[in-house]
């Protein structure tokens, strides 16, 4: 279960050598820790989505090399050799519900595995399993995907990607446009899957709370370059820097910032470690307070 992915001086330009040329990525050096969660954050248009299209070779770098599972991918790599890589790396694109097309939900989920040569019965078994995993009722399996609500369509589409049984799972804003409960359930489901199967997970998101809560490694992108890379604690240690990059703070830090500005002294000198989750925050505040211990 290990698919090492490394970027080596990767650059990518759309429509090179034309007046429409757009440089999107420059000088990307990155390696994804296996079996860990990497969050990619950055302002809109910073090249996040282009970067993740390199992960399963939908795009090939115009400069530099990407190493996936020991295979070198550069500008001249042959397309035909790359299909087997795509099975190992599942990508859930933004608004994945737009990829549904089959007559029935189950067929749509089976579509991916069958493209990679899995027998029909086996594909059906996998599809049922994944649909149950994302919380779609069995009675819906034979219905058309277009009868479903937006949230359910999203689940079916995600099941379609999970059905490939990828070893690396890439999520491009998987919860955008879902209600709060749906967002929470969906992310929890992904994280549980990640822990259980030891997946390498890449999460592109604007939700700093999710980054703080789930990520092992954070990559900050700006204008097609990686400007910072490290553990969430290191990334969130400098709120002013983050605001400069037009990125938000996790709610916990937002709260501390406000509390700090209301206090006559610097609160941070009394806090040992920056709290990234609500639990950590309440613990830090509890330590600070001079409440009698219960």
Partner 1 sequence: MSDKILMGRYIQLESVIHQLDPRTKLMATFYFILIVFLADNLLAYGVLLGLILLAVFLSDIPIGFFLNGLKPMFWIIFFTVIFQVLFTQGGTVYFQLGPMMITSLGLMNGLYIFLRLFLIIMMSTILTLTTAPLELTDGIEHLMRPLTKLGFPSHEVALMLSIALRYVPTLLDEAQTIMNAQRARGVEFDEGSIMDRMKAIIPILVPLFISAFNRAEELATAMEARGYQGAEGRTKYRQLAYGKNDLFALTLLGIVTVLILFLRFY
Binding site for partner 1 (CB under 8 A): 15, 18-20, 53, 56, 58, 79-80, 83, 86-87, 89-91, 93-94, 96, 98-101, 111-112, 115-116, 146, 160-161, 164
Three-state SS string across 176-196, please?
A: CCCCHHHHHHHHHHHHHHHHH
Closest separation in Å from C-beta 290 to partner 1 = 55
Residue 197 CA, chain-centre distance (Å), reads 16
Nearer to partner 1, 81 or 246 (CB): 81
C-alpha 10/C-alpha 158 separation (Å) is 29
Nearer to partner 1, 116 or 255 (CB): 116
In this structure, the dihedral spanned by the alpha carbons of residues 104, 109, 114 and 119, taken in order and rounded to 10 degrees, is -80
Nearer to partner 1, 12 or 236 (CB): 12
Closest separation in Å from C-beta 148 to partner 1 = 12
Nearer to partner 1, 116 or 241 (CB): 116
Residue 124 CA, chain-centre distance (Å), reads 27
- Residue 3: name the closest of 28, 38, 32, 40 by CA: 32
Closest separation in Å from C-beta 224 to partner 1 = 19
Nearer to partner 1, 80 or 290 (CB): 80
Closest separation in Å from C-beta 163 to partner 1 = 9
Neighbours of 75 (CB within 10 A): 13
Closest separation in Å from C-beta 20 to partner 1 = 7
C-alpha 277/C-alpha 12 separation (Å) is 36
**8 A C-beta contact, residue 135 and residue 185:** yes
């Amino acid at each position: 279960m290990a698919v090492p992915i490394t970027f080596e001086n990767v650059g990518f330009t759309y429509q090179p050598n034309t007046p429409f040329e757009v440089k999107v990525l420059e000088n990307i050096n990155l390696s994804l820790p296996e079996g860990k969660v990497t969050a990619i954050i950055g302002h809109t248009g910073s090249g996040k989505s282009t970067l993740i299209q390199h992960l399963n070779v939908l795009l090939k770098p115009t400069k530099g090399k990407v190493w996936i599972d020991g295979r070198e991918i550069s500008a001249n790599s042959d397309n035909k050799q790359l299909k087997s890589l795509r099975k190992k790396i599942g990508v859930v694109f933004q608004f994945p519900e737009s990829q549904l097309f089959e007559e029935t939900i189950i067929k749509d989920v089976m579509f991916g595995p069958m493209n990679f040569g899995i027998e029909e019965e086996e594909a059906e078994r996998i599809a049922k399993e994944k649909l149950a995993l994302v919380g779609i009722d069995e009675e819906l399996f034979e219905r058309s995907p277009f009868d479903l609500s937006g949230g359910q369509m999203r689940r079916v589409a995600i099941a379609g990607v999970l059905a490939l049984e990828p070893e690396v799972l890439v999520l491009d804003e998987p919860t955008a446009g879902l209600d709060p409960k749906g967002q929470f359930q969906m992310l929890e489901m992904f994280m549980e899957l990640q822990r259980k199967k030891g997946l390498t997970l890449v999460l592109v998101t604007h939700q700093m709370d999710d980054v703080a809560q789930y990520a092992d490694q954070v990559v900050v992108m700006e204008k097609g370059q990686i400007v910072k890379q490290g553990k969430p604690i290191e990334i969130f240690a400098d709120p002013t820097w983050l605001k400069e990059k037009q990125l938000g703070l996790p709610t916990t830090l937002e709260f501390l910032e406000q509390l700090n500005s209301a206090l006559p002294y610097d609160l941070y000198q009394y806090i040992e470690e920056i709290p990234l989750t609500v639990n950590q925050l309440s613990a830090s505040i509890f330590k600070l307070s001079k409440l009698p211990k219960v």
